[in-house]
Amino acid sequence: NTLFQGEHEIGIEHHGALYRLKITRQGKLILNK
């Protein structure tokens, strides 16, 4: 996935709130606020 570029976690700012998008070892996506 080119979005993560080898990383397993990225930060996303949305309407002033910071979210963390993480990929688990099983390949699932988890979004944390």
CATH class, domain 1-33, is mainly beta
- For 1-33, the pLDDT digits (tens) are 567 666 788 899 999 999 999 988 888 999 998
* Closest residue by Cα to residue 27 from 12, 4, 14, 19: 4
Domain ranges of the chain: 1-33
User: What is the enclosing helix (H) or strand (E) of 10?
Assistant: strand 9-14
d(CA 25, CA 16): 29
Give the pLDDT of residue 5. Answer: 67
**The model's pTM:** 0.56
Check residue 2 and give its pLDDT.
Answer: 66
